[in-house]
Amino acid sequence: MAEVEHKLYADVNNSKNMDKVLPDGTSPPFLTQGHILKHGELLENDIEIEKEERSRLLAHIVKDIENLKQIQVSQPTPNLSALNPAALQNLGGIGGVNPSQQVVPPPEKQIPIL
């Protein structure tokens, strides 16, 4: 989506109308952090975009950033207090091995400490 928007904003013939096409910025289903990063990447590498079109595109990107922040703030955070300690006891450590189940070799097979 960022590629299409970039092409439309960079085009001298379309750029002036983009505020009417996307008055509120990118639609929420397409508005992600990756979308905004792609906008930045495309803009950074576009050496042919005119100054006026660049300004319009930057205004669009700023609007997208503000909208994404609003979306992120309005999303509920997971309720970690709902995790019950008994359920957590059965979770394994690294590689799914429960520390109480780790096998320690007998002393004669351990590597000597120097």
pTM higher than 0.85, yes or no? no
pLDDT tens string 6-28: 999 999 999 999 999 999 999 99
Domain ranges of the chain: 2-74
Q: Where are the alpha helices (DSSP H) in 1-114?
A: 2-10, 12-15, 18-21, 33-45, 51-74, 85-89
CA dist 86 to 81, 89, 91, Å?
Answer: 13, 5, 10
Check residue 98 and give its pLDDT. Answer: 57
Q: What is the pLDDT of residues 48-106, one digit of tens each?
A: 999 999 999 999 999 999 999 999 888 876 666 666 666 666 655 555 555 555 566 66
30 in Cβ contact with 13 (< 8 Å): no
